Amino acid sequence: PPLQYSLLLQHLVGDKRQPRVWDPATLGGIPCPPKSEEQKMVERVMESCPFKAALACVGGFVLGGAFGIFTAGIDTNVGFDPKDPYRTPTAKEVLKDMGQRGISYAKNFAIVGAMFSCTECVVESYRGKSDWKNSVISGCITGGAIGFRAGLKAGVIGCGGFAAFSAAVDYYLR
């Protein structure tokens, strides 16, 4: 019996053990073909910091523009003239104000998106991990930098608020 145990142990743990080849098909999974060099290159580009920053900037611009146009459309003071409060604004004035507000919001959202994406990429590279803490730290840095223009207290509040929002979004998405 002790000899059989040592032979079994030698077979399972020792140098006679054959390595298993990882094959999803043997486990009942869907086999997937190896990736081509082009696919690997596209993945590397899409995971790069400049691509993520550009995507966040463009996405922020589009979302901000839509939000600006929407808020201008429901604002009752669009085209309001304080000198003549009874005058009804023309459609041209309303559309002009909607366009101006849409562009303003679009630029601000684009800047915030690019700032957040860049700081998240830098934090992720520095920490060497991809987890929820990266978005919270990035949110704090971004919110603090935006709020700091109005003073230290606003910077601290911006840091906390943006970090909490980032944590909530990250919790919801993961």
- Cβ atoms of 156 and 141 closer than 8 Å: no
pLDDT digits (tens, 9 = 90+) for 2-52: 677 777 777 777 666 566 666 655 666 666 778 899 999 999 999 899 999
The three-state secondary structure class of 31 is: coil
* Vertex 117 angle, CA 115 and 121, to 5°: 115
Average pLDDT over residues 113-128: 93
Instruction: Assess contact for 136 and 162: CB atoms under 8 A.
Output: no
Is residue 73's pLDDT more than 60? yes
Question: What does the mean pLDDT of the chain come to?
Answer: 86
Tokens 């840091």 correspond to: 159
CA atoms within 13 A on the CB side of 73: 7
CA distance 147 to 164: 15
Beta carbons within 10 angstroms of residue 49's beta carbon? 14
Residues of the chain with pLDDT > 90: what percent? Answer: 56
- Give every CB contact of residue 167 below 8 A, 6+ residues apart in sequence: 132, 135, 136, 139
Given this model, what pLDDT does residue 112 score?
A: 95
- The model scores a pTM over 0.85: no
